[in-house]
Chain A
């Protein structure tokens, strides 16, 4: 039996299915990441605006002075969670856009 022009061969069908699965995975992950960001933001608003060690100490009931003053080697302080949220979402969107465009260019070239 000869193949009609309208029929899609098995490898192409399989490729399309894989592509759809990959896209579905990306969409699920994107939703998951956004949900996690908002849960984190909600949790942050419920806890006091403290650094990681102070937050840990108060969570376990040890309200004592910090172990050491310097947080890591490159310590930078700041205190606006909403700003962080927007900055993070913008950076993430920019990074994904660059990654997508680079992938498309690689695929075409």
Chain B
């Protein structure tokens, strides 16, 4: 859900490089760990491909709410795939989204990192809640925690990087972004509910996807 909707040139080239470098480090770490853990995880790759396709398609659908918003399904991606494959999935979604003009190329690094925070925290929260509460409640709770953290990460990334050509100071941008995050909470409630229903359905059809 949290996604920096700004064109290329909004961040300075130094900050674009910084966010891309951090993302590449994360991706290399994830790939090395996955290779060491299970080098021939074919079913995992197939499921990742399908969930990435669903996430990308959902990402492009503008809902007629609050002037037009979209869901990312990042919490669902994180809970079903785990942080490793989930981070790869959101990176691919961001690359393809930039390819069709949804977000700048330079912002793929920052956006993928923000979505990685959502993926990882949703996964961890779901694992924490699932034994205690039902699948639906755990899914909603995990999605809300992940998306809230994603919104905070988005604000931090923008305020730290600064915006080229902006007439506003960093503190003004910060207070405006807090308001924007407030609007995002509405979307988080929708995405949380969608995640809860999707997980309850997945648990009925394919409980093995949630047990791994």
Query: Which A residues fall within an 8 A CB radius of B?
Result: 18, 21-22, 25-26, 29, 32-33, 36-37, 39-44, 46-47, 49-62, 67-68, 71-79, 81, 84, 88, 92, 95, 99
Nearest to B136 among chain A residues (CB) is A99
Chain A contacts for B136, CB-based, 8 A: 26, 99
Contact status B133-A42, CB under 8 Å: no
Whole-angstrom distance from the CB of B96 to the nearest CB of chain A? 12
Cβ contact of A25, chosen from B63, B67, B137, B166, cutoff 8 A: B137
Contact status A47-B180, CB under 8 Å: yes
Q: How many residues of B contact A (CB 8 A)?
A: 54
Whole-angstrom distance from the CB of A20 to the nearest CB of chain B? 11
Contact status B166-A61, CB under 8 Å: yes
Nearest to B140 among chain A residues (CB) is A29
Contact status A76-B64, CB under 8 Å: yes
Nearest to B131 among chain A residues (CB) is A18
Whole-angstrom distance from the CB of B137 to the nearest CB of chain A? 5
Give me 27 A-to-B residue pairs in the complex whose CB atoms sit less than 8 angstroms apart, sorted by A's number. A22-B137, A25-B129, A25-B141, A26-B137, A33-B189, A36-B144, A40-B188, A43-B182, A46-B179, A47-B180, A50-B67, A52-B67, A53-B5, A55-B180, A56-B180, A60-B163, A61-B163, A62-B165, A71-B68, A72-B61, A72-B62, A72-B70, A73-B60, A75-B68, A76-B64, A77-B64, A99-B136
Chain A contact residues: helix, strand, loop or mixed: helix
Give A75 to B69 CA distance when docked, in angstroms.
10
Contact status B193-A33, CB under 8 Å: yes
Chain A contacts for B65, CB-based, 8 A: 78, 84, 88
Chain A contacts for B138, CB-based, 8 A: 25
Give A102 to B206 CA distance when docked, in angstroms.
18
Give A71 to B40 CA distance when docked, in angstroms.
39
Contact status B133-A22, CB under 8 Å: yes
Contact status A44-B186, CB under 8 Å: yes
Contact status B68-A60, CB under 8 Å: no
Whole-angstrom distance from the CB of A80 to the nearest CB of chain B? 10
Query: What 0/1 readout, one digit per residue, does chain B (168-196) give for beta carbons within 8 Å of chain A?
Result: 10001100110111111111111011000
Which residues 187-210 in B have Cβ within 8 Å of A in the complex?
Answer: 187-190, 192-193, 197, 200
